A and B are shown apart, each in its own frame.
Chain A
């Protein structure tokens, strides 16, 4: 009996200790614990390895229709971009040119990013209105238009982390700045050798907005 009493006391003590250690880690005791359901509704991001990708699938063939309906009015039927809305297709081989064209095909390093972005913020002004399957279809359509997957390839949560994007290795890490010559806080102060000829004026380019004259 004595042992049982000891056991009870020990149990109560351990419960008390665990409660007190819990409140110790919660320094201020502010806020509430989020439920799984609450988190699931907001936690929509997807990582390059596919972590977070919701269950679903779609191919480019069925994606064409969704794209035409939800995307083409701004981005064009073939992802060429209308007016100043972004082009989504092409640009391959232009990144080192005078006029680089950065599209999902030529520049974006991860397919997951396309899904994540399309789902969270497209169509412009109708964010998070696409279904998971519609989003997979649109992404598959874009990947196919950029010659990254075949038109009958079924893109899904299982393989979106494995798509190899053309510019996957086009990014440099870490940040090498400061990358200019280290002057150690002592730049030239007098008779410095620097060109002072005017070679361009913004006024001549004439693209600066002007206030209406009074």
Chain B
């Protein structure tokens, strides 16, 4: 017993130390001055004009402006027991266009970030194939390659909002999504190398991290569009995104996109791993749970204004937002300023790609009165993003996963914005 207690204490202190460091990282003070410095404003010549700036190579790998230090991933400490098995969130409210910068793509780990020297990387393919094979990273890069934009969304994105509005931020309620361009080889091309037995119906994808993440995927999806990816947005995958290789499962829940991929096994039945039975199953109000709910349904969010982006002055503003669907392209996005009574169709910005984030904007005028902002996505299958009430009526409030409902941002008379629930 004494020993166990000691274990607990050491575990706790380890966790505490980790969290402490995290907090330090987050506490970087905002460098934005409250008031502009008149010396830098017309008709004066600003200080940065009068002196030379840094030369090349001061930052061999460039970083964002020091004035953007608040644009970072953030986590919710109370959600999880340790940062190694945890999640943080993409700051959607600070991003433009549809590409998520690599360093801002949200992280979800189950056993921390595996650090893998690419020389030691191997991908094994075994099971119901004609030839069980092993590929090096260089081997994989010799196959014909594809370059595709896809969104990746955690099935639990918005999972804290089932019962009511809980987290007051666009980042915390919608930030478990990112969108990058992947470079890799189609998994189906690897099958052409290994051959496939006729009774191969399922794939087990397995990670080499400390959690040994595993998910079963039906063979039809593998033949359709899955990618073995080594690059995101033009550079090698970030370690926290699976360096050197991750699986890309377009339009399907992020948990299936196994990072640090080490093995692909073909079988005739699903494997019923921990992740697809005890987790990532959607508990209904009658105590039964849906299983294998892979597709991410159409969803949208207004990324500005939002709780992190208050309205600072009266007059014309641009509502900016993102929409996406795991079933194809976004066809239309509507925006309401009055809590869903009346809607106007927003402008979609090209490119509008399938299973990718799509940017929308629409101008609005704020006259200092309260407003209830909502956005509603419609995808090319004519599916309409539902209200939370519609989802609750069918699924109850305990399913955690697949909350793709319409959110409401309240703009108050003072310009502050709140995540609210209507009813």
- Could you list which residues of chain A lie within 8 angstroms of chain B, going by C-beta atoms? 25-34, 38-39, 42-45, 47-49, 68, 72-74, 77, 82-85, 95-96, 98, 100, 102, 104, 107-110, 112-113, 116-117, 120-121, 124-125, 127-128, 170-192, 194-203, 205, 207-209, 211-212, 214
Contacts and interface: CB of A to CB of B under 8 A. Distances in A.
Interface in B68-114: 70, 74-78, 80-82, 84-85, 110-111
A166 B114 CA distance: 36
Interchain residue pairs A-B with the least CB separation, the first 5: A96-B287, A185-B382, A196-B339, A73-B7, A95-B287
A32 to B, nearest CB: 5
Nearest to A94: B287
Contact of B420 (A183, A191, A200, A208): A200
A94 to B, nearest CB: 8
A186 B290 CA distance: 28
A107 B280 CA distance: 12
Contact of A209 (B74, B206, B381): B74
B294 interface: yes
Contacts of B74: 209, 211
B204 interface: yes
Interface in B324-380: 331-332, 334, 338-343, 372, 376, 378
A195 B389 CA distance: 10
B331 A30 contact: no
B147 interface: no
A38 B391 CA distance: 47
B420 A110 contact: no
Nearest to A48: B272
A105 B11 CA distance: 26
Contacts of B338: 196
B341 A74 contact: no
A183 B384 contact: yes
B421 A199 contact: yes
Contacts of A176: 290
8 contacts: A42-B263, A45-B204, A180-B390, A187-B334, A187-B378, A192-B342, A201-B410, A205-B165
B212 A32 contact: no
B116 interface: no
B394 A96 contact: no
A202 B168 contact: yes
B242 interface: no
A102 B278 contact: yes
Nearest to A117: B274
Contacts of A85: 81
Nearest to B267: A47
A149 B269 CA distance: 26
B172 A102 contact: no
